[in-house]
Amino acid sequence: MNRPRTLFALSGLITALLPLTTAAQTAKPPTTCPALLSHSFARLQDEAPQNLCQYAGKVLLVVNTASYCGFTRQYEGLEALHARYEKRGLVILGFPANDFGQQEPGNTQAIADLCFNTYGVKFPMFSKTAVVGPQRNAFYTQLFQATKAAPQWNFHKYLIARDGQTVSSFQSAVEPGSAALTAAIESALKATP
């Protein structure tokens, strides 16, 4: 005799919860990876492969770095940006490259030592790669195609919006703490994908 009432009560509960389930499903972040981020690179410290899709929905500042450049001190400013904006969704991605003036001649261990021990870098760094020329990696090829601006030197910066499609370019001389770059980061962090 209680079985019909129990079934009726359960069906009423399910009907009441159904709109909540639908609302929760629509609030989920997108599960697709933007084409621009569909690349994997070896992590600098241990060469473990890392897929950039893990950063989908974040604001990304992509920087080609070098250990023996006049701009190498920008690691400090980049780390300050990382500390300031990480909790709001900024991820800085460092790509050491020996494309300009042979200013990144070291091996993985030497580059990691400079980044992590000398400058205290905590943002993701990847193994040495090419960012210009015929050996340029596919990610940098897409960044160039999106902005029509190739790096002219070390510490060129690309800012990728949360949508994974909108990309801005900043020349090497633009300091990480400059008004122009921080304003662009602030704006990108406020935008929704």
Task: Measure Cα distances from 18 to 9, 26, 29, 60, 181 in Å.
Answer: 14, 13, 20, 36, 45
pLDDT of residue 192: 75
How far, rounded to the nearest angstrom, does the alpha carbon of residue 192 sit from its chain's CA centroid?
16
pLDDT of residue 19: 45
Structure token pair of residue 116? 């992590």
Q: Tell me the mean pLDDT in the region 179-192.
A: 95
Please identify which of the residues 33, 53, 69, 115 carries the catalytic annotation: 69
Instruction: Give the pLDDT band (50/70/90) at residue 174.
Output: very high
* pTM as predicted: 0.84
Domains of the chain in start order, with CATH, are: 35-190 (3.40.30.10)
Q: Tell me the mean pLDDT in the region 52-74.
A: 97
Burial 138-151 (b: 16+ CB within 10 A, else e): ebbebbbebeeebb
| Active site annotation includes 69 | yes
Looking at every residue in the chain, the average pLDDT score rounds to 88
Q: pLDDT over 70 for what percent of the chain?
A: 83
pLDDT of residue 1: 52
Q: To 10 degrees, the CA torsion angle through 172, 176, 61, 98?
A: 40
Q: Tell me the mean pLDDT in the region 10-15.
A: 46
Q: How confident is the model over 107-145, as pLDDT tens digits?
A: 999 999 999 999 999 999 999 999 999 999 999 999 999
Q: Provide, for the chain, the percentages of residues in helix, strand and coil under a 3-state DSSP scheme, each rounded to the nearest 5.
A: 40, 15, 40
DSSP state of 93: E
Q: Is the pLDDT of residue 93 over 90?
A: yes
pLDDT of residue 16: 46
Instruction: Give the pLDDT band (50/70/90) at residue 22.
Output: very low
**Residue, of 5 and 191, whose pLDDT is higher:** 191
pLDDT of residue 28: 40
